[in-house]
Chains A and B, each alone.
Chain A
């Protein structure tokens, strides 16, 4: 019995110790992966569906053929679990990994991402969209984002994608025929360069959906909050994200505009119906004429939808002289682990450069419907005028809307884009909290106005901003 007790005590001690070992911080060997024969092995982790991962593997293989001394172990994750996996590996990150722009600040401010400025010349970067590259500058001395004299470059853009209005052309033609509308008059409103005002858009939606979705076809699936807020010259907070601005009339009027699409015009499904079928599903299922899409949606749309569609700039408030069509623009970066050895950093940067601005790789990406090219020249020429005939007759024909939105220019100078608000803040949960507040207040059902909902949430939102600034030492 004594022996048994002794055995048990030893077992408990060893298990307790192993638990400590398991939870202890990992020590990275700075030279791990630098092979004695001069070759280097790096780990690259990204996300995407099976097709996207296969495309990436193909490009990674091509990169390895061109760089025989570098072995890339590429791993893909589903988008929904990617950030959780990455966070669990925060102390042992892959050498190269994706970083969504809205999580960038938290990761870079905590020192997990390497400053890779010294690996680039200004000339190299000048070929890329400056809006995209500038997103990944950060100054650790001030904890501020954006390009400045003291800021370093902490990532290369994987892409830059505007989330613009899209319409189902096939379904629109059916609605025009069904309600005996003037086709020319309607198509005249759908300009790729001259965005509609909110007022015009509401009129159009009521024309094509006069029965409030009774025929299971709504005018629009949902409305992007940031597209409305930005297109009414409003914002969630001031320039340095220190003071909330949701009590500004421009802000809550934008929210009210969205609510009224259901409450007043009845051209958008109720909040309850939007929960059971989201905008993406409804658009793909031809349950609405208008919705929103980004360039990354093309790959899936080309495979699965059997109708014609095209994109448009997002509408803006025509009654606000300061307002212009402004879509949100999302980006993701290629970042290098702060703990990567010199040889691995060099290899990782080389791969990031290849994926970010190698002409062949960029052509492959847009051919596969994954993004607008990062290289400005390629986007403005090859991509728009189809000189390489890579896109054939693929939708959407008005790809110029995406390029204009990134560029912030068009014939009428009314089309632009702006980075998502969450990019500027230390964490993103305030956005979910805000939208949850609007739902629980039943603002979308008309129980309170947008003004009441925003004003009642303002102090909580300010507390969020204060907490996030405190995390940044502000």
Chain B
């Protein structure tokens, strides 16, 4: 038998629904709607000037991998995007370390460090990229001045990826630290007291209690980090200024779609990217049963 909702519950549900209505409308129009149109255009040759579309079947998809004009840069953008994802585990690792130090209370001014590490998170991504560009500048950057050598961070295909990974890892410490710190503070003290009585060392406590109990946060950061990483754009456009070694998949989509009016090709790349993100996220969820702690 179905339970009937009380009047108060119904009213609450209506109010709650009203609160989420606007984001839902936005999501449906600008995300779901855009995806539907992208899917449609990925099979067409769309002319923005005339508004006409011509069905071309799988051509846009095959062009991404076979056409001499686009395949090399598309494959290069995939390679770059995947390599740049390395900053996710790095920032998580460093954030975890920072959280452990702050929580231990052995560091004076823990609050100060929390604020300091969090500043990049609340700053504009474009502004941060411009600042980092000055830091890594080939000619007069602080890093090169400290090293005393002219290293081509911003122009060499490999070094620019190293620079982006370093930059993103450091920028990401703040978020990781705050989330890990919150998760650690939620762990009941009884667990540690019991472990202490059993004679477990601090290191053992960390690996046997802390780390397993914060796996939901690790999982959350991996999911959101990977999705954000696959959609990286400012690194290519602002920090990398479009050099080939920094071009990501989203940069490719922007360059081909918006800049060069190849909307069908860009739509096909977008659909492939969305599929890749979906598959990777699903695999992560599937595998999470084996390592993520659930109460």
Contact = CB atoms under 8 A, between A and B. Distances in A.
A298 to B, nearest CB: 26
Nearest to A277: B139
Interface string A431-474: 00100100110000000000000000001100110010000000
B260 A90 contact: no
Interface string A12-39: 1001101100110100000000000000
Q: B interface, how many residues as a size bin?
A: 35 or more
B47 A436 contact: no
Contacts of B51: 25, 91
A395 interface: no
Interface stretch (A57-65, A105-113, A155-163, A377-385): A105-113
Contacts of A297: none
A270 B69 CA distance: 28
B69 A16 contact: no
B48 to A, nearest CB: 5
Contact of B137 (A25, A107, A276, A436): A276
B258 interface: yes
A15 B29 contact: yes
Given A19-B33, A23-B33, A440-B157, A110 B50 contact: yes
Nearest to A8: B17
Interface string A96-115: 00000000001100111000
Nearest to B151: A272
Contacts of B140: 276-277
A403 to B, nearest CB: 34
Contact of A429 (B33, B156, B157, B259): B259
Contact of A111 (B33, B49, B137, B258): B49
Contact of B261 (A106, A275, A276, A463): A106
B244 A464 contact: no
A18 B21 CA distance: 15
A460 B29 CA distance: 39
B33 A90 contact: no
B258 A84 contact: yes
Given A12-B28, A19-B28, A87-B261, A276 B48 contact: no
Interface string A368-403: 000000000000000000000000000000000000
B287 interface: no
B58 interface: no
A275 B33 CA distance: 39
Given A112-B49, A459-B68, A22 B155 contact: no
A250 B258 CA distance: 35
Contacts of A345: none
B279 interface: no
Interface in A106-164: 106-107, 110-112
Nearest to B159: A272
Given A22-B29, A275-B138, A427 B244 contact: no
B241 interface: yes
B260 A273 contact: no
A271 interface: yes
Interface in B28-42: 28-29, 32-33, 36-37
A106 B47 CA distance: 11
Interface residues of A, number: 39
Contacts of A12: 28
Contact of B68 (A16, A440, A460): A460
Contacts of B82: none
Interface in B185-235: none
Contacts of B243: 275, 439
B29 A19 contact: yes
Contacts of B259: 84, 429
A276 B49 contact: no
Nearest to B67: A463
Interface in B104-154: 137-141, 150, 152, 154
Contacts of A106: 49, 261
A272 B157 contact: no
Contact of B139 (A25, A276, A427): A276
A427 B260 CA distance: 7
Nearest to B241: A275
Interface in A259-284: 269-273, 275-277
Contacts of A4: 13
A273 B51 CA distance: 43
B56 interface: no
Given A427-B260, A463-B68, A272 B152 contact: yes
B25 interface: yes
Given A23-B37, A439-B244, A272 B156 contact: yes
Interface in B238-284: 241, 243-244, 258-261
Contacts of B2: 1
Contacts of A427: 260-261
Contacts of A111: 49-50
A440 B244 contact: yes
A16 B156 contact: no
Given A15-B28, A277-B139, A429-B259, A463 B69 contact: yes
Contact of B260 (A112, A429, A439): A429
A47 to B, nearest CB: 16
B244 A276 contact: no
A15 to B, nearest CB: 4
Contacts of B260: 427, 429
Nearest to A269: B139
Interface string B1-29: 01001000000010000000100110011
Contacts of B33: 15-16, 19, 22-23
Given A427-B260, A439-B243, A273 B138 contact: yes
Nearest to A83: B259
Contact of A110 (B25, B47, B69, B139): B47
A87 B48 contact: yes
The 7 closest A-B pairs by CB, nearest first: A19-B33, A110-B49, A272-B152, A276-B138, A272-B155, A15-B28, A275-B155
Given A16-B28, A427-B261, 11 more contacts: A1-B5, A11-B24, A16-B33, A23-B37, A91-B49, A110-B49, A272-B150, A276-B141, A277-B137, A433-B69, A464-B69
Interface of B: 2, 5, 13, 21, 24-25, 28-29, 32-33, 36-37, 47-51, 68-69, 137-141, 150, 152, 154-157, 241, 243-244, 258-261
15 contacts: A16-B33, A19-B29, A19-B37, A25-B51, A87-B258, A90-B49, A91-B51, A111-B50, A269-B139, A275-B241, A276-B138, A276-B155, A277-B139, A277-B140, A460-B69
